[in-house]
Amino acid sequence: MRHQPGVLIVEDEPAIAELIAVNLRHNGFRPTWAMDSASAQLELDAVLPDVILLDWMLPGESGLVLAKRWRANPRTKEVPIIMLTARGDEMDRVAGLDAGADDYIAKPFSTKELLARVRAVLRRRAPEQVGGVVAIGALLLDASTYRVSFNDQMLKLGPTEFKLLHYLMNHAERVHSRSQLLDKVWGDHVFIEERTVDVHVKRLREALGSGAGQMIETVRGAGYRLSAQSMQASSSQANA
């Protein structure tokens, strides 16, 4: 029997939840519904779904708070999350993605688009996930323990910045366009604006600090590259 992917719908409006559930069921998915943060947590504790559709505005804790908590929990951190929200501003989209959401869909949306997004996050459930330790100069990333350090000092990165750094370190010295980074870090889809990459690169540089942050170069008109040589060049100029 073919596997029916489980989808947890966290939505406080019954009419919207029912519409989503009916369409998911008709297209081979197994939906469950929770109308607030407490019942959503109970559903997750009972059975881990394949995808979570998470409304931003919920009674009690917001979807943003839930996304951050589930991303920080080892049991739920790998479950794809699609945020559902009436908020359409770019900064709101970035906030949702930065909280750990894999994708973002603004209301009102077509059920066709929603189904396409659910299928997309299932296809790219773990893009470019390579285990083990990667070291470039004094910058060290351990994918298995989710730790990053520079000159033996631990650094704190958000989930998206960690994935971005992981990919850049595994493909050091190459120039990557924004669209390539979207495909490889966020997944093979076209739903997130390329400017989102710039926001996360900026946050990654800030998290890495003045030393390691210099390793991420902006290549004008082309994209971004991680290079240990740019830091060495900067260090040589400072010592000259």
8 Å CB contact between 84 and 62: no
pLDDT in tens, 71-116: 888 888 888 899 888 766 666 667 777 777 888 888 888 888 889 8
CATH number of 6-123: 3.40.50.2300
- Rounded to 5°, angle at Cα 76 from 166 and 39: 150
**pTM exceeds cut of 0.85:** no
Would you tell me which CATH number, out of the four given (1.10.3720.10, 1.10.10.10, 3.30.70.141, 3.90.470.10), belongs to the domain 133-239? 1.10.10.10
8 Å CB contact between 80 and 102: yes
Of the pLDDT bands very low, low, confident and very high (cuts 50, 70, 90), residue 1 is: very low
Query: How many residues does this entry show for the chain?
Result: 240
- Rounded to 5°, angle at Cα 191 from 144 and 25: 85
pLDDT in tens, 106-122: 888 888 888 988 888 88
Structure-token match 């709101």, residue found: 92
Strand ranges, E, within 49-202: 51-55, 81-85, 103-106, 133-136, 139-142, 147-150, 153-155
Alpha-carbon gap, residue 31 to 53, rounded angstroms: 10
Q: What is the pLDDT of residue 240?
A: 42
Of the pLDDT bands very low, low, confident and very high (cuts 50, 70, 90), residue 143 is: confident
Domain residue limits, the chain: 6-123, 133-239
Q: What is the pLDDT of residue 230?
A: 61
Span between the terminal Cα atoms of the chain, in Å? 69
> What sign results for the dihedral spanned by CA atoms 182, 186, 190, 191?
negative
